[in-house]
């Protein structure tokens, strides 16, 4: 009698664990895209990052096609969590940057797109802590992937 009850409890436990695992696996990942436009003498880049820390970077000349295949990398979990939390706060708080002058040929723009929202240009000074946090997060993500924001044209 004891082993029959154990089998029922074991099967119920296994079924519960499988149901939870299926739910967790089915949860969609959040994602964001970081785009640096590049300039006349430095390539831009596009970083795609998901909430599980998986990311990839592709370089491209300003207004041009990607150079090579995407390079995959992993962003530490704490950095990823902070980045997505800061994105939500920046969007909710209407994050803004100070308008800044840029040379036509050397100026770049840097924006993050997330859930239909696009950040202001992060190469201009942030007006508040929301922007400062996002700029810091993008720098940490670039560092994790070895992304050189000043990569010259070949």
Q: Where are the domains of the chain?
A: 28-145
User: What is the DSSP pairing of strand 117-118 with strand 67-74?
Assistant: unpaired
Q: 28-145 has which CATH code?
A: 3.30.1560
Alpha helix segments (H runs only) across the chain: 2-26, 77-92, 129-145
pLDDT at 71 over 90: yes
Strands of the sheet with 54-60, listed across from one edge? 67-74, 54-60, 44-50, 31-36, 110-114, 117-118
pLDDT at 66: 74
| CA–CA dist 110, 136 (Å, integer) | 13
Q: Contact 60/43 with Cβ under 8 angstroms?
A: yes
pLDDT at 17: 53
Q: What is the pTM of this model?
A: 0.77
pLDDT at 35 over 80: yes
Single out the residue of 51, 50, 95, 46 nearest to residue 71, CA to CA.
Answer: 46
Average pLDDT across the chain, whole number: 83
Residue range 11-22: mean pLDDT, rounded: 57
Q: Contact 108/60 with Cβ under 8 angstroms?
A: no
Single out the residue of 49, 54, 59 nearest to residue 149, CA to CA.
Answer: 59
pLDDT digits (tens, 9 = 90+) for 109-146: 899 999 999 999 999 988 889 989 999 999 999 999 99
Q: Enter the tokens of residue 56.
A: 């990839």
pLDDT at 81 over 90: yes
Confidence of residue 31 (pLDDT cuts 50, 70, 90): very high
Q: At what angle do helices 129-145 and 77-92 cross, to 10 degrees?
A: 150
pLDDT at 34 over 90: yes
Comparing 12-26, 87-101, 139-153, the range with the smallest average pLDDT is: 12-26
Q: How far is CA 30 from the centre of its chain?
A: 9
pLDDT at 1 over 60: no
pLDDT at 33 over 80: yes
Single out the residue of 79, 149, 89, 77 nearest to residue 114, CA to CA.
Answer: 89
pLDDT digits (tens, 9 = 90+) for 96-111: 888 888 877 678 889 9
> Pseudo-torsion of CA 50, 55, 60, 66, nearest 10°?
-90
């Amino acid at each position: 009698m004891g082993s029959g009850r154990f089998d029922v409890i074991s099967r119920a436990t296994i079924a519960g664990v499988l149901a939870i695992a299926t739910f967790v696996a089915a949860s969609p990942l959040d994602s964001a895209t970081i785009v640096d436009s590049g300039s006349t003498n430095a390539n831009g880049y596009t970083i795609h990052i998901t909430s599980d820390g998986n990311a990839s970077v592709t370089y491209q000349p300003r207004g041009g096609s990607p150079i090579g295949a995407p390079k995959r990398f992993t962003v530490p979990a704490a950095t990823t969590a902070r980045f997505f939390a800061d994105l939500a706060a920046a969007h909710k708080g209407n994050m803004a940057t100070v308008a800044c002058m840029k040379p036509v040929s050397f100026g770049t723009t840097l924006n993050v797109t997330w859930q239909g929202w696009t950040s202001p240009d992060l190469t201009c000074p942030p007006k508040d802590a929301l922007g400062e946090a996002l700029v810091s997060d993008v720098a940490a993500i670039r560092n994790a992937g070895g992304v050189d924001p000043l990569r010259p044209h070949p």
